[in-house]
Structure 1
């Protein structure tokens, strides 16, 4: 399926309410990813009519909290707006009205409110650079990036840019509030949050275009997005950093190898650096086959990879390009990560150090893949901010 602009891209939701039905008994309410936002939908299971019930033009993300009869409670936020509870109700003419509920979920100090009030965000459409070859129609359509920036420029110059890359790779960075990203943007960085082809919410053809092309198509999409903001005079080419975790870390370490002069600094959280090493140690070895071989992966899958498999894995991996890397890189690794065991990140970091590249490695002894324990998350992004300020300011 190819999702045209404004058209329903398909369902990409992770949960339902225990009772998601309106009073008519045939209409379900849910949250789903729609391009770069999380939206609320009503779906009539008898007529197959799909309606977007959250406001269309704001760019905010909406998450469903509760439903009672024809009344809905949701939460709305953006990269520069803290979460706000919303009450919605279905009117007699079958439209939805939304009201603010006075108590915010996140209470911000005045200083934080002041910092956020100077921030803005925009959802950019990025044209695919190369539409030749065997691409489906959906894979030829623009992908998106969320650009977070200051409303004012100092001395008419661009703030340093952090390119943010999600993992998965089949997830999405939606336009919801993140304290970690707000910390970075409030400390003088613009953010380019790239939803490269293969992200959820853009239709099945765009989603399925990535397996078999990791390390090339996704890398090229990120570079295209960076060049897009540079061409718009929204980024200083000499002050660009890149940050990603898991597959986003895979892209981060690929980018500093494939475009070694592009980045002033990099940070990778539990990155996939060497598929040939990961396949024998991860709890998802099938992921390595799917993303390397694409739709033909079942013809290759085995619990005992051959030398040919391992060669293919290494050629898809960031470590294949390590001889070109010169970007100062921060590694943040969870000691208990079973998804992407930290051996792959440690190997890559040691190889960079051997080359004389400036490297810092922090291992969180009690963290798994997400590095999301509160103290670890805090220390992780604090170190990222310090690292990027050192090399980008």
Structure 2
């Protein structure tokens, strides 16, 4: 190789490292605090060329408005890397932080609730309830309610039961552990996925977790032909019923890609959570499974609607 070509490669390699070392601000949250200033929290990512992944970290700052109307940012000294974390969502007041770690293989999904100084609670959600929480930026949706007692989110539906066989006696009725030797499990019924980056992922569904008890419920009453995403809690007043607003994509006639087909027809839906009642002792909303859910199409007159927001 000529000396000039080697110099060009070295120069381009150096440029690539410099560009990839520049972090991206993926998400940002602002919280009101006592006094006249705001607190900011930022999810920052940076490329890791060796592992072909992105490092995720969080940064915080105080935002001060000076007398001359200028704005001053007082940043924390260093960011904090969130290794192995799939989703980070602070509560509306900024007093709690939800950290979700998606499982590897068939392990349970981990939900952690952090306060300012410690981890308060940790819940492990088995595959029989749901799979990984979506964090793709399209189906992704994780939302705290205003009371900070429940979190709505979008995750893969529960893993279906699979028939178990062995090499000698055929079908095993009572099943077996995944690591039992001499047994094998069927792949199960074939289910069409959305393709592209969603190959092998199960259909997104809507769930609500009570962060006090760890109880998880799938939101019922939603058409199974809809893939759910971008869920948010609608504003409500004390004593009124709560609503979840989300986007629904129909799988009819077929799922032919979605991440790179943003013009695919979709609609905004609302579901009334009549399953939330107030505990007389704590006066906080508690999940109750005896009530029904009701879904409403909010955008029947238009063919595409997504990213619902309330101000």
Q: Does the pair score TM above 0.5? A: no
Q: TM-score, normalised by structure 2?
A: 0.31
Q: Which one has a larger percent helix, Structure 1 or Structure 2? A: 1
Query: Which has the larger share of strand?
Result: 2
Larger radius of gyration: 2
Higher relative contact order, structure no. (Cα contacts within 8 Å, ≥ 6 residues apart) = 1
